[in-house]
Amino acid sequence: MDVQMQDATKPAPVQIDAAKLEAIRKATLNSYKNKFLNLRDKFDKVNATNTEYTSTLANAKKKEEAIQDEINMLLDYLAQHGASDPEIAKCLSRPPSLTTSSRGGVNGS
């Protein structure tokens, strides 16, 4: 008797015809396909942006190294020829605050 009760309480399986089932599969497939294509496009854009930023960073580092080399060269020149050139010696003998204020810099308003 218990077996008959259990069978009676089970819901009947839903009947879906083959055409409906195929339509659902295609809709799901298209949905996943669209999601995949959208995500792949987004990935490609992000990847291209990353490549662009990486190359820009490399160029900036090269420029920074070139500028640092120029600064080092100028500092070497000042160290070697600062005392012999009266114009450079005059600039080097002044305190930095007077030098910037005479040019209208931060302290000179």
Return the biggest CA–CA distance within the chain: 118
Compute the average pLDDT of residues 78-96. Answer: 76
**Sorting pLDDT into bands at 50, 70 and 90, what band is 96?**
low
pLDDT in tens, 46-78: 999 999 999 999 999 999 999 999 999 988 888
Check residue 109 and give its pLDDT: 45
Compute the average pLDDT of residues 94-106. Answer: 57
d(CA 83, CA 90): 9
Residue 101: other Cβ atoms inside 10 A: 14
d(CA 19, CA 59): 59
Residue entry with tokens 């996943």: 32
Q: Check pLDDT > 70 for residue 107.
A: no
